[in-house]
Amino acid sequence: MLNNVKLISNKNINKRRYALMEILDKNNIEYTLTNRNIGENYVKNIIVNFNNNSDKKIVIGAHYDNLYGSLGANDNATGVAILIEIVKYIKENGINKNIDIVFFDREEYADRGSEQYIKEVGKENIQAMINIDTCGFGDTIIIGTETNLEKMYSLNIMNQSLLNKKYIQTIKLNPGSDDRSFEEENIPNIHIQVVPQDDLKIITKIIECELNELELSEELLNSRLKFMETIHNGKNDNLEIVNESSMILVLDLLISIIRNIQK
């Protein structure tokens, strides 16, 4: 996975897209490249579809675009590299479910690729969405929201036993990524991310303040979240901080989820 992160990490969005397509081509993976207008922009999602039957789609997605000027290594070449491995796993194991693996464009900006995808597919044809973002730095998976996890349990997409690991922590509020587009359309969704354990303590306190509409204390305002330095052109937005062991945590979780879906 780390080699694919290196290939995709680039400040130029077109080079990121071409690198991703080349990786898919080399692995004989068929995909669709969209070029659709939404709002004032064109979006170029890359979609790998499995078993296009009458069942509602389960979407597993990660954005491949980057903030202008950012290398976009952790945010989000790591998520893309994980999804490539998921595509390989589904292909090699003959998973018999209607699953779309979507590499989204324009997550970092308005007129998101995830919005365009929902519009084209139709929200009535989507059962649920799993979003993967910034998974190459840290030792703890955060997954949420807890309310949406309950919806995933009821759909038999997940169960609580999948999360019974000390390095997985559920959260009540997501930081916001392409899962937002699905949330706005009332499509069940979850967001998966990796952060350092020390950051988790601060994140939990910030979430509680937001949910209870409380002002952040001076201590929280001055808190230094390490993972924030690895995204949006932060000072540690580079390949040196990306750790494959962090990505493997998420890959293993996703494979467990897919196995559960297949039951």
Mean pLDDT over 5-11 rounds to 97
pLDDT of residue 227: 92
Strands 168-171 and 189-195, by their bridges, are unpaired
pLDDT at 221 > cutoff 80 = no
Strands 99-104 and 140-144, by their bridges, are unpaired
> Is the bond preceding 140 in cis, omega lying within 30 degrees of 0?
no
CA dihedral 247, 252, 258, 259 (to 10 degrees): 170
Distance from C-alpha of 130 to C-alpha of 151, rounded to nearest angstrom = 12
Which residues lie closer than 8 Å to 93 by C-beta, 6 or more apart? none
Number of domains in the chain: 1
Range of the structural domain that residue 56 is part of: 2-262
Read off the tokens for 181. 């587009």
Distance from C-alpha of 62 to C-alpha of 137, rounded to nearest angstrom = 16
Radius of gyration for the chain, computed over Cα atoms and rounded to the nearest angstrom: 17
Read off the tokens for 82. 């994980």
Read off the tokens for 96. 């018999």
3-state DSSP assignment of residue 171: strand
- pTM for the full model? 0.96
pLDDT band at 219 (very low <50, low <70, confident <90, very high): confident
Q: Which residues pair with 195 in a beta bridge?
A: 140
CATH number at residue 237: 3.40.630.10
- For 18-68, the pLDDT digits (tens) are 999 999 999 999 999 999 888 889 999 999 999 877 789 999 999 999 999
